[in-house]
Amino acid sequence: MNSHNTALHRSVLIAGATGGIGSACTNAFANLGWTVFAGHRPDSTRTTTATSVFQIPLDITDASSIAEAVTATSELLSGQPLTALLHCAGIAAAGPLLMTSADLIQSQMACNLLGPTAVTQAFLPYLDRRGAAVVFLGSPLGHHVRPYAGAYAASKYALRAVAETLRMELVPLRVAVHLIEPDKVDTPIWDRVVEQFDQTWNASPVWLRNTYPHARQTVHGWRDVVRQSPDGTTAPQVAQCIVDHILHSLTEFATHEVGTET
């Protein structure tokens, strides 16, 4: 049997492996017997002790950290290719754009757009040329905007453009590109969204707060809706969707390979 079609040599690098969806993906791939390179910020808390999971310090907004992560991962691969690259790292800035500082917008773009692009460029040479996959986490806000989510939506619109471009450009390298767009997922990111919004709100001048009197209630309400929604999606469900997309891609590559050889 072709080793590409066995779990033994399959591996995935997960950027943002300690977040809600990232942690669920780490567990899902580890349970399948994959080798998981769990990329995480140095100051984050690791959530698994599985022997098939290797902790890789990775700040996707720092070029030197990305380079060090590539070196560490390639050494652990020991000449084997990487099967998949999964982008789960991200932040969400909330608030009226007139209240949102340039620094916060830059951080939003650095983490949600520039970081995933840079990580993909850095790890691409290590992806399996017999068939591999890259997965980006998008959002429904990458298709339409709503008040008080402009910076986040802008980053997801741009990420969708990157994913769609790479989907075409990586065909010669036999790398499938997927953009998964989960909605209403209850993860810790919502607490950070509310905390960041409150800081932005409190630092804003009175005239701006008077201009947007319902902004605070609206943003806080997003978290409540997600946590109380009966049709919400769980992080493990998103992880399973990602697993299914990747496995389908690998099956398609393997089927085409067999068909070519016969």
- Nearest CA-CA partner of 153 in 99, 113, 204, 194: 113
Cα 27 to its chain centre, rounded Å, is 15
Residue 62 is part of a domain; what is its CATH number?
3.40.50.720
Q: How many domains does the chain have?
A: 1
Ordered per-residue pLDDT tens for the chain, 262 residues: 333 444 448 999 999 999 899 999 999 999 999 999 999 998 766 656 678 899 999 999 999 999 999 999 999 999 999 999 999 999 999 999 999 999 999 999 999 999 999 999 999 999 999 999 999 999 999 999 999 999 999 999 999 999 999 999 999 999 999 999 998 898 889 999 999 999 999 999 999 999 999 999 999 999 999 888 777 789 999 999 999 999 999 998 877 543 333 2
pLDDT tens figures, 169-184: 999 999 999 999 998 8
C-beta of residue 231 within 8 angstroms of C-beta of residue 184:
yes
As a residue count, the chain comes to 262
The CA-based angle 127-175-13, given to 5 degrees, is 40
Query: In DSSP terms, which residues pair with 14 in a beta bridge?
Result: 38, 86
Look up the pTM and report it. 0.90
pLDDT tens figures, 187-230: 889 999 999 999 999 999 999 999 999 999 999 999 999 888 77
Coil, strand or helix at 90: coil
The confidence score (pLDDT) of residue 46 equals 63
Domain with 129, as residue range(s), is: 3-261
The confidence score (pLDDT) of residue 258 equals 38
Q: Which residue blocks in the chain are alpha helix, DSSP H?
A: 20-31, 63-77, 102-109, 115-123, 150-169, 189-203, 206-211, 215-228, 235-261
The confidence score (pLDDT) of residue 57 equals 97
| Cα–Cα distance list, 60 to 71, 122, 163, 188 (Å) | 14, 11, 17, 19
CB-neighbour burial class of residue 73 (10 A; exposed 0-12, middle 13-18, buried 19+): buried
Query: In DSSP terms, which residues pair with 179 in a beta bridge?
Result: 136
Cα 130 to its chain centre, rounded Å, is 24
Query: In DSSP terms, which residues pair with 37 in a beta bridge?
Result: 13, 54
